[in-house]
Chain A
Amino acid sequence: MQVLYGRHHVRVFRFGLRLVRDEQVAEDLISEVFLDVWRQAGKFEGRSAVSTWLLAITRFKALSALRRRKDGELDDEAANAIEDTSDDPEVAVQKKDTSVALRKCLTALSAEHREIVDLVYYHEKSVEEVAEIVGIPENTVKTRLFYARKKLADLLKAAGIERGWP
């Protein structure tokens, strides 16, 4: 378990943190995820990569945590506002820093779009693996990422950044 934890806990934590946007909650999440793994290791059939299995569990637990938080009258949008205390994209552009603006816009995406962007770009998951983690058809995976990117382009455009697409 120590080997498994050592190898995967940082990525699991980052994936969870990007979804729940709260470090304490994300840390609690990884404990829950690896405890589940400890309890259910016998059920892992090896059909997918261990990291894919871990990310699927993390996603499920993160969404449950978000639902609990929503029940506590703190919706996702409000959470975004609380979490995101640094400059907004417009200010970032004023700083002539497109890179920072792009990061701000990546943060401003909806949870649904954030997770698919992260899974493909950061966690380097294939179409099939993303479909398995998110629980949607492969074609939906492809189009969802396309529209996430389009939303990202819209946010950047609103911030005054034109990148030549769309």
Chain B
Amino acid sequence: MMAASKKVLDQEPSEIEVLLPWHAAGTLNARDTRRVDEALARDPELARQYAVIREEYAETISLNESLGAPSARAMAKLFAAIDAEPARAPSTSLNFSARIAEFFAGLSPRTLAWSASLGALALLLQAGVIGAVLVKNQTSSFQTASLSTNAPITRDLGAAAAPYALVRFAPEARVADITALLDSYQAVVTDGAKGGMFRLLFGNRAMSKDEVAALMSRLQREKIVSLAVAAP
């Protein structure tokens, strides 16, 4: 990395070298900042150049700050010119976000603080109302597959339930094979493996007895399935 700063100035500067001023000003993105930091830690010549840049940076700020500010004449001239402009509604001259910004900029810190508090309170109230409505309207019960209990798993979601099956996979079945099978049948493992059997849920719609039987025989024919039986 010494090459980064060893380059003679007649040559093109390195990619890192040209980023140093922005690093000094703190305006580099995170990725480039990290790259420059690493280069500076490795390359003492680059670090020396960086020290020079920091000096330039400080003096440039100092020089600009010493320039002072414009007189009131400039402002008077501007607003006289604006007054002389053809009549127009101010709302059409500024876009929506600018008007919002101008509105908030005009508020005192105390007013802003009160407004923020009121806003937060309103949000809390709104969240409470939404929560209450949801709880009141909830008629379905749901139990996650991961919950282990002796009681039968209930899935009363207001519609007939999708079929379950108990499946034993062949000993040589790999995880990738099982995952592929689950995908192809749109199935999920809801419990297992008790006695080497996995409880699978198929799809998200109810099936007739014949459909379930066909599904089981199809499953049974899979190379990695050694047993598949329909389950309640």
Contacts and interface: CB of A to CB of B under 8 A. Distances in A.
A121 B21 contact: yes
Contacts of B48: 164-165
Interface in B80-102: 81-82, 85, 92-95, 97-98, 101-102
Interface residues of A, number: 50
A143 B15 CA distance: 9
A79 interface: no
A100 B86 CA distance: 48
A3 B64 contact: no
Given A9-B75, A150-B9, A126 B27 contact: yes
A120 interface: yes
Interface stretch (B49-57, B149-157, B162-170, B197-205): B49-57
Nearest to B27: A126
A5 B72 CA distance: 12
A35 B56 CA distance: 34
Interface residues on B, range: 35 or more
Nearest to B74: A27
Interface in A91-126: 99, 102-103, 106-107, 117-118, 120-122, 124-126
B61 interface: yes
B60 A122 contact: yes
B143 interface: no
A73 to B, nearest CB: 27
Interface string B93-136: 11101100110011000000000000000000000000000000
Is chain B's interface secondary structure helix, strand, loop, or mixed overall? helix
B92 A42 contact: yes
A126 B29 CA distance: 9
A61 interface: no
Interface in B42-74: 48-49, 51-53, 55-57, 59-64, 67, 69-71, 73-74
30 contacts: A1-B82, A4-B102, A9-B75, A10-B69, A13-B74, A23-B70, A27-B71, A27-B73, A30-B78, A31-B74, A31-B77, A35-B78, A35-B81, A38-B93, A41-B95, A99-B59, A102-B59, A106-B63, A117-B56, A121-B25, A122-B61, A122-B64, A125-B27, A126-B22, A126-B27, A126-B29, A153-B52, A164-B51, A165-B48, A165-B49
The 9 closest A-B CB pairs, nearest first, are A121-B60, A142-B18, A27-B74, A122-B64, A31-B78, A13-B70, A31-B77, A165-B52, A165-B49
Interface of B: 9, 12-13, 17-19, 21-22, 24-29, 48-49, 51-53, 55-57, 59-64, 67, 69-71, 73-75, 77-78, 81-82, 85, 92-95, 97-98, 101-102, 105-106
Given A9-B75, A14-B64, A121-B56, 15 more contacts: A9-B70, A17-B67, A31-B77, A38-B85, A42-B94, A46-B97, A103-B63, A106-B56, A107-B63, A118-B60, A120-B22, A121-B21, A145-B18, A150-B9, A165-B52
